[in-house]
Structure 1
Amino acid sequence: MAGHGGTVYAGCSVFDGAGESSLPDQAIWVREGTVEQVGDRDAVLAAAEPEGVEVVDLGGGHVMPGLINMHVHLGLALPGPMGDAVARGGDADLVLLMAGAARRALHAGVTTARLVGESRYADFALRRSLERGEVVGPRLFTAGHALCCTGGHGHDSDALEADGADGFRRATREQLRAGADLIKVCISGGIAGEHEGIDTPQLTDEEMAAVIGTAHDWGRQVTAHAGPSSVIARAVELGVDGIEHGYQLTEQVCALMAERGVRYVPTITVSRCREFLELHQVPDWMIDRALSAAPEHWASLQRAIAAGVTIVMGSDTPPDAALDGTTATVREMELMAEAGMTPAQVLRSATSGAAEWLGAADRVGTLAPGAAADFLVLDADPAADVAALRTLHTVVQGGEPVRDDRGLLAGRGRR
């Protein structure tokens, strides 16, 4: 049991989510689920010991904030058996499926997730259950249903169909009424739509403006599923806040995104996940479309990096999915580094940078006084090489251990 003053985790190096490198000989004082103090081991212990703390030695581990995955579908319903299972099940089946996915994501190190399209408003029920502590999973920020035109991208899974400016205003307000933290709108085709191309424009300027204006009036941001630069440029000019996927970005549209402060979630694994797609028996047409998108998708990410676009990590492929010997979340981060981002840039894209976009920079994505005590323990230094995340063995969320492969935390916490 922790003392009344909380717990000090010592014997570790720390990457705090905001810096360029990890600092050695650090300690983290956690009390009532939040970070009380982090810094030099001796200084933290000197401050904490009079409070009656428990001290846990992390055995030289490397600590960083819990990951924030900014493009997640806990009820993912791709064409094939995955989609069939969701369609056949009732609402209770869907919530339980999503709860299982949430637990696996948390164990994979994702302590906060942004949901960008779920069906039947099950995400709000799950979020309430998580907040009450009835189930375990990431802290959730959710868009509710994505929005699309009639027959548009996602209409047969997680998107709500609308047409015309008035129709999209109403659909936006319906998500806000349900409690949406943001709005997701599909403005072009994508990989998972059989009767569309990635470059198919799907919304008029009036429809996009209706979504963006309504959401902004309510203090919410809008992120857009989008493939081609021609469509993305129109959305950026209209004031969209973020772009998901961006399969076909030109240098010119990257420069425009950088100038306007539009964030980019590349989801680079979705065009490199043959292993996952084949495992889940998606149709051949979808596998072919995903893999054929890969060269231009990769070039788009590199153009965005070169242009100075703010890039935020999101996998789209389920956070815990097996991919190239690790999870999709870790593989996403490795690919971002391979494309040209520094390890620190990649880590911030999945911690403090993501938290800033969520408007939660004081609560998650950092190890600083007052923030939630969400952190991971690794065997290697992620600030030197993001592949160190493959050595993850301990996950703590809100000061409660939720994964403890080495028994460092003596079996405390939730499972």
Structure 2
Amino acid sequence: MRRSPLARLLLPTALACALTPALATAQPADGALALDNVHIVEAEHNRVSARSCVRVQDARIATIAAAGAPACLEGARAVDLQGRYLVPGLIDMHAHLTLGPLEIKRERGRAVMQALPDDDIAEHNARRLVAFGVTTVRNPGGDLPAAARYKARLAASELVGPEAFNAGPVINNADLPGLSIAAHSAEDMDQVVRAQVEAGADWIKLYTGLSPELLQAGIDAAHRHGRPAVAHLESIAWPDALAMGLDGIVHLMPLSPDLLTPEQRAAWQATARGGTYSFFEWWEHFDPEGPQAERLVAAYREHRPVFDATLVAFHAAFVQDQDNPYKDDARRHAHPRLLDHWNEWFTFAIGWEPEDFERARAVWPKVQRMAARLYATDARMTLGTDMSNPWIAPGISLHRELQLLAEAGVPNAALLLAATRNAAEALGAGQRLGRVAPGFEADLLVLDADPLQDIRHTRDIHAVVLDGEILTTTALNQLKGE
């Protein structure tokens, strides 16, 4: 929970006189705020409530009553929302909050890759996440000292940002300073996991280069130390990893030869190229209605993993050769260092030729179909963006992810639950986050239109309530740097 005097943090001295009145009219009086005349979006029932009054006190939802109820309004700063719509604050389950650019340096005559943390990028990301209604994130891989600095600054009211749940550097078969650490044996794995837990890791992130034996060792070590294990996997088939006890999977890119039939596998491997070409080459052979897809769906139903598809990260790569909204978002909202980095060289489509982009776009309907099938299971489906990777701008990209999944056929109510209640429960915070209900923390989003009717309405943000304090248009624009 953030305890931040938002007016002081948001307003530079030179602007304070001009902007303070606009912000001050929305601040709680006598410790209470009443959001009156608002429809609560009840995604679990696929409906909205009658016009209601939501009283916020001590940064939590105190009561919910009928619009205009004296018990809700008494002694509170009342804000008439004129029939707008209220949802919980959004949760991005795949936001590399502190990550800096992926760089290559020369060290002892050889090239070394690194992705060092950047506190300025973290603050930039945090402000824009809040501006777009993202009040909680999971950072699924990064520098734990940087994550600790972010948490300390948030607690000290030195910045405005979402609450963060963090994994440490991803555990893989090679080191990449700032982003990954190697484990070559079960003993290594236990030591790395123990060190990450002691440094404050909420999750353990396992990566594509691990053998099945080391993946199992990582899952077991995470559980021994009281942490869930999530993985980015390619060569190891997801059903096999889930049977090992893996708690979560990221990215809708299975890319395992064991999820192809023998004929499909032979055809793929005969022409497969390394690197990110697999993002479309594998899908050219996979059948989202075939027996291996059925195996994958069955595994999701049985094991109920936490899952975020991050479609936006891959779609941005698939259309990178064209003018597209992801580039526009990045120009407006990505940190300049990251934007320069993507423009200069680093993207997920390095080396792709025009025909590669055409092939990638041709398989996109298959990706959509598999997403719809997985999100229709009762697995713990959430939303993520892979923020800080190419063309993924903070905040706005989560709304793009919602739209992509809606276009794939996932119902709007299911998407809202994935972005709120499901994610909070997956984070182990379902008793305090992700719902509009008495006793829950007052991280809320006020929308101009009903997102159950059109998921694009999540972008029509009238106000954000962060830790019980309401930010209206002036403050939100300021957070965006506008």
TM superposition score normalised by structure 2: 0.72
**2:194 aligned with 1:173:** yes
**2:93 aligned with 1:70:** yes
For residues 154 and 172 of structure 2, the distance between their equivalents in structure 1, rounded to whole angstroms, comes to 28
2:222 corresponds, among 215, 220, 227, to: 215
Amino acid at match of 1:344: A
TM superposition score normalised by structure 1: 0.82
2:185 corresponds, among 164, 182, 185, to: 164
Q: Which residue of 2 aligns with 1:268?
A: 311
Question: Where is the strand percentage greater, Structure 1 or Structure 2?
Answer: 1
In structure 2, relative to structure 1, the CA distance for the partners of 1:129 and 1:380 (3 Å cut) is: same
Unaligned runs of 5+ in 1: 189-201
Asked if the contact 1:17–1:367 (Cα under 8 Å) also holds between the matched residues in 2, the reply is no
**2:457 aligned with 1:388:** yes
For residues 68 and 35 of structure 1, the distance between their equivalents in structure 2, rounded to whole angstroms, comes to 18
1:29, distance to aligned residue in structure 2 (A): 0.3
Q: Which residue of 2 aligns with 1:312?
A: 382
CA RMSD of aligned residues (A): 3.1
Q: Count residues with an aligned counterpart.
A: 380
For residues 319 and 386 of structure 1, the distance between their equivalents in structure 2, rounded to whole angstroms, comes to 24
For residues 216 and 106 of structure 1, the distance between their equivalents in structure 2, rounded to whole angstroms, comes to 32
Q: Which residue of 2 aligns with 1:191?
A: none
Q: Which residue of 1 aligns with 2:245?
A: 239
Amino acid at match of 2:39: S
1:373 corresponds, among 424, 431, 442, to: 442
Within-5 A mapping of 1:10-409: 10-16=36-42, 18-42=44-68, 45-50=69-74, 52-77=75-100, 79=102, 94-119=118-143, 121-150=145-174, 155=176, 158-186=179-207, 188=208, 202-227=209-234, 230-248=236-254, 250-273=293-316, 274=320, 275=324, 276=326, 280-281=342-343, 282-283=345-346, 286-287=349-350, 292=360, 295=364, 296-318=366-388, 327-401=396-470, 403-405=471-473
Tell me, what secondary structure is at the counterpart of 2:97?
Answer: coil
1:336, distance to aligned residue in structure 2 (A): 1.3
For residues 29 and 49 of structure 1, the distance between their equivalents in structure 2, rounded to whole angstroms, comes to 7
In structure 2, relative to structure 1, the CA distance for the partners of 1:407 and 1:57 (3 Å cut) is: farther
In structure 2, relative to structure 1, the CA distance for the partners of 1:16 and 1:140 (3 Å cut) is: farther
Per-residue Cα deviation, 1:191-241 (whole angstroms, up to 9, x for no partner):
xxxxxxxxxxx212221122111211222111111235x432221111001
For residues 16 and 374 of structure 1, the distance between their equivalents in structure 2, rounded to whole angstroms, comes to 16
1:111, distance to aligned residue in structure 2 (A): 0.2
1:80, distance to aligned residue in structure 2 (A): 6.3
Q: Which residue of 1 aligns with 2:278?
A: none
Question: Where is the helix percentage greater, Structure 1 or Structure 2?
Answer: 2
- Give aligned-pair identity as a percent: 29
1:104, distance to aligned residue in structure 2 (A): 1.3
For residues 390 and 463 of structure 2, the distance between their equivalents in structure 1, rounded to whole angstroms, comes to 15
Unaligned runs of 5+ in 2: 1-26, 105-110, 260-292, 331-338
359-368 or 307-316: which moved more? 307-316
Per-residue Cα deviation, 1:44-81 (whole angstroms, up to 9, x for no partner):
x232345x222111132211111011011123345469
Amino acid at match of 2:349: M
In structure 2, relative to structure 1, the CA distance for the partners of 1:16 and 1:370 (3 Å cut) is: farther
In structure 2, relative to structure 1, the CA distance for the partners of 1:406 and 1:134 (3 Å cut) is: closer
For residues 17 and 361 of structure 1, the distance between their equivalents in structure 2, rounded to whole angstroms, comes to 15
1:119, distance to aligned residue in structure 2 (A): 2.6
In structure 2, relative to structure 1, the CA distance for the partners of 1:398 and 1:231 (3 Å cut) is: same
Tell me, what secondary structure is at the counterpart of 1:15?
Answer: strand
Tell me, what secondary structure is at the counterpart of 1:24?
Answer: coil
For residues 133 and 109 of structure 1, the distance between their equivalents in structure 2, rounded to whole angstroms, comes to 19
